[in-house]
Amino acid sequence: MMKKIFLLILLAGTAFANSQAQRFAYVDTEYILDMLPEYRSAQKQLEQLSADWEKEIGKKQLTIDKMYRDFTAEQVLLTEELRKKREQEIKDKEKELRDYRNQKFGYEGELFKKRQELIKPIQDKVFDAVQKVAKQGALDFIFAKGSDMIMLYSNAKYDKSDEVLTELGVAVTKNKDNQNLQKKDNK
């Protein structure tokens, strides 16, 4: 009798747990973003801006280096007042360079703002598509593979990345696994 009650409780608990089961899936955000032409275009723009600013920083650094070399070579010939003046000019140029670097690459610098301007609308668009896929599939959770959350294992049948791309209007012609293999071969 006790066995039957235990079995009945176990079956009831299992049935209740199954009725409360949550549906989940995941998306590979890196894969999705790489497939979006507007994201690739934004990345190229950011890389170009960054390269242009790096060149400018390089030029400024060369100027400072030349000023320092000239100062070192002439230092013994300069009066105390002139030496201090030249040292101050070098310090001012170094500060100007630091300020320029921070203005372009620092936290909340121009690169950060430009990235927000170009990338955030794309991320919002992807987020909206993920929500639509979740609602259409009656999913309770969608995890982002490749974000800070680490997935030690994921079954491909729960990957909804291609559905998100379809929702975004991107024609998915290749299997994602083949795309990743091609990416690795190109490296």
Instruction: Report pLDDT for 15.
Output: 41
The sign of the torsion formed by the CA atoms of 34, 125, 142, 138 equals negative
Enclosing domain of residue 181:
20-186
Judge whether 9 lies within some domain. Answer: no
* CB neighbour burial string for 1-26, b if at least 16 within 10 angstroms, e if fewer: eeeeeeeeeeeeeeeeeeeeeeeebb
Q: 24-39 pLDDT, tens per residue?
A: 888 888 888 999 999 9
| Sequence-separated (6 or more) residues with CB below 8 Å from residue 67 | 86, 89, 90, 93
Judge whether 76 lies within some domain. Answer: yes
Judge whether 182 lies within some domain. Answer: yes
Judge whether 8 lies within some domain. Answer: no
The number of folded domains in the chain is 1
Judge whether 103 lies within some domain. Answer: yes
Confidence of residue 53 (pLDDT cuts 50, 70, 90): very high
User: How far apart, in Å, do the first and last CA atoms of the chain sit?
Assistant: 66
| Per-residue CA distances from 184 to 26, 119, 152, 179 (Å) | 22, 25, 20, 9
| Per-residue CA distances from 137 to 26, 95, 159 (Å) | 12, 56, 12
CA angle 176, 182, 186 (to 5 degrees): 145
Judge whether 162 lies within some domain. Answer: yes
Judge whether 7 lies within some domain. Answer: no
Tell me the whole-structure pTM to 2 decimals: 0.67
Q: 107-134 pLDDT, tens per residue?
A: 899 999 999 999 999 999 998 888 888 8
Judge whether 133 lies within some domain. Answer: yes
